[in-house]
Structure 1
Amino acid sequence: MSSCDFHLHSHPDKILFRHLSNVGNKSISTSREKILSLEKFGIDENTFSKIAFLIGTCHDFGKGTKYFQRYLFEIDPAIQRGLKNKKEYHHGLISAIFTYYILEKYVNSLNNGNSLRFIPTIGYLIVKRHHGNLKDAEDEILELVNEDTLEVIDLQIKSLEISELKTVYEKLLDGYDISFDIDTFCNEYRSIAGEILKNRRKFAKLLKEEQFTGYYLITLILYSILINSDKIDASSIDVFSEIDISSELVDKYKVEKGFQSNESTINKVRNEIYKEVTESIEKLDLDNKIYSISVPTGSGKTLTSLSFALKLKARLREEKRIKAKIIYSLPFLSIIDQNYDVFEDVFKTVEKANPTEDVLLKHHHLADIFYKTQEDEEFEGLKSLFLIEGWNSEIIVTTFVQFFHTIVSNKNRSLRKFHTIANSIVILDEVQSIPHKYWLLLKQLISGFAEYFNTYFIFVTATQPLIFDPEKKEIIELVNNKDKYFREFDRVKLEINLNPMNLNEFKEIIESEVRENPEKDFLFVLNTIKSSLEIFKHLKDLKLENNSYYYLSTNIVPKVRLSKIKEIKEKSEKRKIIVSTQLIEAGVDIDVDIVYRDFATIDSINQVSGRCNRNSSKSSRGQVNIVVLKDERKEFHRYIYSSFLIDKTKEVLKEFPSEIYEADLLLLNNNYFRKVKDTSSEDESKELLSYINELKFKALTSDFRLIDDKAGYEKIDVFVELDVEAVEIWKEYILIKSLKNPLEKKERFLAIRKKFNEYIISVSKKDFSCEEPEDLNIGYIPFKQIKHYYDPETGFVFELKPSMMCD
């Protein structure tokens, strides 16, 4: 039977044989692109690719039933939806049992098959959920206890197109020395299901006793390769091109921009750091895969880390055959665009052209949904989103949430890109923002990626947390002279006042300061939105001349927030007075003379210090004042930060005088993180690690939250119809929501998603008195009511008159 004689389909326009062949071949080619170190599993590169291939060819076996074929070609959408809800029309479970059967045959054919005894079960778990999210392994297997489930399989087995499936698999598995028989499978599938069930206890015991993160990693990389290959073939969208990025790209950029010839003190230090880090690549031992660039804020770490990564990428390709992507991950949206713009400028300056998305990609919810290749292929809408979410690029700039909720996840959509992290160079910028309760968890996962998947990590920060201990050589510091650099950066003086004061007392202090220093720019960083609003109103009410006032918080729609940050960074004849919550801290490249910061943890204090006299351009040291503000109930920092971290901060600060200089910051930071490391509880990480090691995917994802809302209030996303553009976007959104075709809905929404999200704020439901539009699951502030609910300067209005209601 030739392939043109096949009649079973996987999709309306695709023959099942062709789909299985394509997915198998894409899986094997993807796995062969990776240089992995899986000796601990008893798996060499050839065996790994064969396992990936077999999973790919077996994953849709269950589409060979008459039930599925009827569902596929049902022309009445209502009837088709009804069929989709009936279990006999599903194909995941029967395909999973068949995958187990084939993988067991393959493993038994190998001499070292015993070391791979867990692979058939992992294949079962992967295939069972290839169209959904992963669930806890034990629950997935226990489903086979249910007699009703087995009776559904009975019906499916009887409806299989046996003759064609025999030919399909004889062709697909030709050359794989596997003794299998479709008839035997159909006769013995219940006993095979019984074997999977019986092995459950052994498998669960193995996972529980060994507590080995490797099983989680190998499950997810195989799952990722499968679902990515499956989606690529189903969508017929695949982009691949060899793109060579010069390892000297940043070197050339610095020369063209004249950075090397700038002889200011701060630029001399930046150039020294750059030279030390980039020259270290020549003598680097590539068996070490976790590095640190720990330097003062404002010392050019963005360009330094990119240049180092490009040079490491070139060495890995030459010496290890590793084709490494560069993944640059940051904690906050406010600095992603800033750093992306720097990278883009490097390419534009040196290459004299804008980089296409297959070279440089930005991935977060406010980014454009557009993808262009160097071959001038252009993609929009769902096709573009597909390529963006697959991280089909040489350099990806993304958020911590995107990155960490990929390596700690059960979500199909997130895990599709999991395999791209293998063999990558991952730059984690501002890494101090990772909650300490997850240090042990992420240490284990990052170590696993480094050891088994040859992934290289670069931790970049001024305040290096002790996730990895440099004294134990767990992390290699690329800056040997960091003590010297911190001494040379004599830009700020910190004054610490730990005596609590209320907002009225604070207002008197700052009023006096801003009046006495009319030429100096001020930044006030508060811990809560409500306290920041009160301070902003007080400063505005002073009516000082020649001042520009800026208020920043998540209370303001992203479009306006990013515009304000851009304006703040521009030079102006007017004195700037900025009031913000902590969103201003990490990496936002602004430069002021005097900072007041409501009390926070050491890493936050250090970060806000980096906004003061950042470029050493002031005539004297910048002044950072740390105060403790309170309301009638408690200090404001207690609403935001954990008591444990606050107590450690106070302990460390008591070891220093009330005046602290920049040269002291390195010791201050080191002492703080050592205390956190030595005395913090690892219970939460240990519990999550047990979920990982025992493949409890659902439990893991429900408990892991990189961004933790300490207040615990239920929140609602609110669309603010702020201007004429927002009015048109909302009209389009309502129209889209009324569409019946789900694909058309998605496509149309993607066209407006970026602009739509620019008008979204997230507020506590208890503070939002507007009615939610019916069935939209989103709050809405209409244009004609904007003056009641949204202030153009300070954003969402919390305190409304009881009579004010939305139309």
Structure 2
Amino acid sequence: MYYAHSTKNTDGSDWQRLADHLQQVTRLAAARGDKFGAGRAAALAGWLHDLGKYAAAFQNYISHRGPGGVDHSTAGAKEVIALGLKEGDGLMAELIAYAIAGHHAGLPDKSGDASTLADRFEKPLEPLDARWRREVDFDATELMPKDFTWRRDGRHAFQAALLGRMIFSCLVDADFLETEAFYASVDGNEIDREWPKLPDQMDRLIAAFDAYMADKQRSAALTPLNQLRGEILTHVRARAALPRGVFTLNVPTGGGKTLASLGFALDHAKRWGMERIIYSIPFTSIIEQTASIFREVLGNNVILEHHASIEQTSSKDDEFRDGISDARLRLAMENWPAPVVVTTNVQLLESLFASRTSRCRKLHNLANAVIILDEAQTIPLHVLKPCVAVLDELALNYGCTIVLCTATQPALIAPSFDGGFQIVDPDERELAPDPPRLHRELKRTTERLAGTMTDDDLVHEMAAVEQGLVIVNSRQHALMLYQACEAAGLAGLIHLTTRQTAADRRVILADARQRLTHGQLCRVVATSLVEAGVDIDFPRVWRAQAGLDQMMQAAGRCNREGRRLVRDSIVTIFEPAEAKPPPEIAGLIDDTSRILREHRSDLFSPRAIEAYFREVYWRKDKGLDKRAVMQRFLIGVGDKTDFAYRSVAEEFRLIESGMAPVIIAVDDQAKATLVALKGGMPPGMAARELQNFVVQVRPRDRRLLLGNGHVRFVEGFGDQFAVLMTESLYSRETGLLWERGDELGFGGII
């Protein structure tokens, strides 16, 4: 008898037969692959993934009669290559081989320096019992999805690599769930993984959305703005019957695009029988706000919120959040089975280029989904081309609809952008009614180009208003300006910057909103973090020169609800006299300056924004795929692949901060987490719980803080947890003053 998994019982009475495990994994993997036509390929991966367990060495290992470290993955990968050669389907065989070989350690590179697929094929393997040929009932024919469409623009290898990653997702999720179910049955446990299916809930969810919007309309004042929001919603939902694919939703700030996009997603998913709605947001600071709105509209039991600051925040299975157990939420973050997923761009897009099993398990659940990218213009430039390519591929071959939802629609459509979304008729795929008209009718501010302004000029102008927001390009300038305002005696002064922890920024923003709502003094000096998606409304805004999209986002914080006269809602664009822009901003300022020559009369018009992005993309060009991701997946003669799955995954990051974290443990919760860490809390869980209490600094600044004893590492964890010891260097008002790092502290290790 050959076994897949053993238990504590040495007699083998409750061990899992290998043939049973392979059969069940095959069934689950095939069901996942069927969603995008790869059910046969996923099934073959299921049959062969544990082929190496038919080796006596592996059976001795799980019977505790032999050593561990037995490779049970490579045998199946080698076998599928042989089958591919036999059946004349070498490309699909190679894709399945990557998946089988990586189903524990992660997708490997084909060639290179360490632990490659080529190396594994060269090493000797333990002999297999011929019995496997009687117990494994596979079919290695017709593996390529029948309706798969190949691009004509040289993306073939990139497309094939994604197909391989999706097959891998089907396999690893099926393998994990089947193994989990076996051990749960042995232990008598129940696993809480059940979520309702979107098609089964669709009528109820649409009725809930309609009721919510009707109630909102009844309670809202009959203003031109609210009438326009209603028109936008009606028009967007009316286009839900259009075929699946890529859409744009170009609605200025305040036009209600969040709810309009949700209404479209519900109607579109019902029309085309789609299985999931995924709402992806660039900033963690606004994801909780969006998830809260969706819960209010649709109810708690269909929403999964997945981002770094919520992952595995509790170790208790019996705690509940919004009526759902923490255990169920944590498990759902592994593979996204919920009908509606609210997540971040980092979580979504980095998973699409990942190699680890834990990041890839969810990918098959992207198939046949409506994927809405909020603030689509914020996809970082250094990964723009691969991100556009992978989203476009999801629409082409995986039944997805992609909605690029933004107030500043970037020029991401081919041919105006080389490598852009392949949309035959962009006007037909725009969901909003006449974006230029919306821009005119939703215009709520007057732009003032002030030229060069000193900090004293800004202090003087801020002193003349009771409520105002100044946004500058660096943390250093924000602090200098805040201190200048403070020295001038300005009341109601607030400083908002990533010098402060995320936990403190939430408190600060809540305080600012309270002041604004009640007409109290509120003068805010901030960095750009206050721009995209932050729901806050000032009568006056000053913005240091930056990219045109950033300046437009800043304008969205002025007269946001349209309650003030346009002529009085002034957004002042200025060039700081004392502070030079960071290098990454300087280039965008130059791009904006070139666009201003032609569009000075209407700085934020859709035409100006599109021209600006074309200018940026043209200037950056090769920098739009900084790591050359598109060139790291190759197909040669005879469909031989050379895919760099592992290397790309290690290098692909949406946020290239080059920064080092410092934990600010002045809050009781942060202190308690550090105590728990030293008491045995898993470091991964501690790191997640501490994310809201971290300030990122330049590595050289952290080294100075460490050298002078202001920061210490928690003993026993290397350099993973760097904790601020000199609490006087941090306050909620100013944030972390790393500039004082050259003062002497205490030194040592916690």
In 1, Cα distance between the equivalents of 2:672 and 2:319? 31
- Aligned partner of 1:561 in structure 2 is 505
- Aligned partner of 2:16 in structure 1 is 14
Unpaired runs of at least 5, structure 1: 1-5, 37-44, 109-113, 179-205, 318-322, 348-353, 738-744
In 2, Cα distance between the equivalents of 1:253 and 1:210? 44
- For the structure 1 residues 366 and 480, does the alpha-carbon distance in structure 2 shift closer, same or farther, using more than 3 Å as the test? same
Q: 2:632 touches 2:648 (CA, 8 Å); kept in 1?
A: yes
Q: 2:733 aligns with which of 774, 790, 793?
A: 793
Task: Say whether residues 1:68 and 2:2 are aligned partners.
Answer: no
Q: 1:103 touches 1:123 (CA, 8 Å); kept in 2?
A: no
Partner amino acid, structure 2, of 1:331? P
- Aligned partner of 1:691 in structure 2 is 632
Task: Say whether residues 1:804 and 2:745 are aligned partners.
Answer: yes
In 2, Cα distance between the equivalents of 1:272 and 1:259? 15
Task: Say whether residues 1:98 and 2:79 are aligned partners.
Answer: yes
In 2, Cα distance between the equivalents of 1:522 and 1:74? 70
In 1, Cα distance between the equivalents of 2:155 and 2:290? 42
In 2, Cα distance between the equivalents of 1:240 and 1:618? 45
- Aligned partner of 1:190 in structure 2 is none
- For the structure 1 residues 696 and 630, does the alpha-carbon distance in structure 2 shift closer, same or farther, using more than 3 Å as the test? farther
Q: 2:33 touches 2:39 (CA, 8 Å); kept in 1?
A: yes
Q: 1:99 touches 1:124 (CA, 8 Å); kept in 2?
A: yes
1:347-362 residue pairs with structure 2 within 5 A?
A: 347=298, 354-356=299-301, 359-362=302-305
In 2, Cα distance between the equivalents of 1:64 and 1:394? 39
Unpaired runs of at least 5, structure 2: 8-14, 142-150, 182-190, 417-422, 636-642, 706-710
- Aligned partner of 2:540 in structure 1 is 594
In 1, Cα distance between the equivalents of 2:209 and 2:233? 10
CA drift at 1:336? 0.7
Partner amino acid, structure 1, of 2:194? V
- Aligned partner of 1:30 in structure 2 is 32
In 2, Cα distance between the equivalents of 1:302 and 1:470? 28
CA drift at 1:167? 4.3
- Aligned partner of 1:111 in structure 2 is none
Partner amino acid, structure 2, of 1:534? M
In 2, Cα distance between the equivalents of 1:431 and 1:674? 15
Task: Say whether residues 1:535 and 2:507 are aligned partners.
Answer: no
- For the structure 1 residues 214 and 11, does the alpha-carbon distance in structure 2 shift closer, same or farther, using more than 3 Å as the test? farther
Q: 1:363 touches 1:389 (CA, 8 Å); kept in 2?
A: no
CA drift at 1:368? 5.6
- For the structure 1 residues 474 and 736, does the alpha-carbon distance in structure 2 shift closer, same or farther, using more than 3 Å as the test? farther
1:298-313 residue pairs with structure 2 within 5 A?
A: 298-313=254-269
Report % sequence identity. 23
Q: 1:92 touches 1:127 (CA, 8 Å); kept in 2?
A: yes
- For the structure 1 residues 692 and 150, does the alpha-carbon distance in structure 2 shift closer, same or farther, using more than 3 Å as the test? closer
- Aligned partner of 2:147 in structure 1 is none
Aligned alpha-carbon RMSD (Å): 3.2
- Aligned partner of 2:420 in structure 1 is none
- For the structure 1 residues 804 and 64, does the alpha-carbon distance in structure 2 shift closer, same or farther, using more than 3 Å as the test? same
In 1, Cα distance between the equivalents of 2:2 and 2:93? 29
In 2, Cα distance between the equivalents of 1:690 and 1:373? 47
Task: Say whether residues 1:250 and 2:209 are aligned partners.
Answer: yes
Partner amino acid, structure 2, of 1:8? Y
1:428-577 residue pairs with structure 2 within 5 A?
A: 428-469=373-414, 473=424, 475=426, 476-499=429-452, 505-506=454-455, 508-517=456-465, 519=466, 521-545=467-491, 547=492, 549-570=493-514, 571-577=517-523
- For the structure 1 residues 725 and 673, does the alpha-carbon distance in structure 2 shift closer, same or farther, using more than 3 Å as the test? closer
Q: 1:248 touches 1:307 (CA, 8 Å); kept in 2?
A: no
- Aligned partner of 1:728 in structure 2 is 672
- For the structure 1 residues 612 and 449, does the alpha-carbon distance in structure 2 shift closer, same or farther, using more than 3 Å as the test? same
Task: Say whether residues 1:54 and 2:44 are aligned partners.
Answer: yes
In 2, Cα distance between the equivalents of 1:134 and 1:177? 21
Q: 1:24 touches 1:56 (CA, 8 Å); kept in 2?
A: yes
- Aligned partner of 1:651 in structure 2 is 594
Partner amino acid, structure 1, of 2:696? S
- Aligned partner of 1:152 in structure 2 is 124
- For the structure 1 residues 668 and 540, does the alpha-carbon distance in structure 2 shift closer, same or farther, using more than 3 Å as the test? same
Q: 1:260 touches 1:271 (CA, 8 Å); kept in 2?
A: no
In 2, Cα distance between the equivalents of 1:144 and 1:423? 31
1:771 alignment partner, SS class: strand
Task: Say whether residues 1:623 and 2:613 are aligned partners.
Answer: no
Q: How many residues align?
A: 686
Partner amino acid, structure 2, of 1:778? Q
Q: 2:237 aligns with which of 260, 278, 303?
A: 278
- Aligned partner of 2:614 in structure 1 is 674
- Aligned partner of 1:609 in structure 2 is 555
1:126-525 residue pairs with structure 2 within 5 A?
A: 126-139=99-112, 150=122, 152-153=124-125, 156-157=126-127, 160-163=128-131, 165-169=132-136, 172-173=137-138, 176=139, 211-236=156-181, 237=191, 238-239=193-194, 241-242=196-197, 243-245=200-202, 246-258=205-217, 262-282=221-241, 284=242, 286=243, 289-317=245-273, 323-347=274-298, 354-356=299-301, 359-367=302-310, 369=312, 379-380=325-326, 384-469=329-414, 473=424, 475=426, 476-499=429-452, 505-506=454-455, 508-517=456-465, 519=466, 521-525=467-471
Partner amino acid, structure 2, of 1:452? N
- Aligned partner of 2:530 in structure 1 is 584
In 1, Cα distance between the equivalents of 2:602 and 2:739? 41
- Aligned partner of 1:350 in structure 2 is none
TM-score by length of 1: 0.79
1:137 alignment partner, SS class: coil
CA drift at 1:224? 0.8
CA drift at 1:379? 4.9
Query: When you count helix as a share of all residues, which structure comes out higher?
Result: 1
1:426 alignment partner, SS class: strand
Partner amino acid, structure 2, of 1:628? E
In 1, Cα distance between the equivalents of 2:737 and 2:72? 51
* Alpha-carbon displacement from aligned partner over 1:138-164 (angstroms, at most 9, x marks no partner): 459996876x975631xx11xx4444x
Partner amino acid, structure 2, of 1:128? A
- For the structure 1 residues 212 and 691, does the alpha-carbon distance in structure 2 shift closer, same or farther, using more than 3 Å as the test? same
In 2, Cα distance between the equivalents of 1:273 and 1:489? 12
In 2, Cα distance between the equivalents of 1:150 and 1:249? 59
- For the structure 1 residues 298 and 326, does the alpha-carbon distance in structure 2 shift closer, same or farther, using more than 3 Å as the test? same
CA drift at 1:781? 3.3
Q: 1:440 touches 1:467 (CA, 8 Å); kept in 2?
A: no
TM-score by length of 2: 0.84
Q: 2:236 touches 2:260 (CA, 8 Å); kept in 1?
A: yes
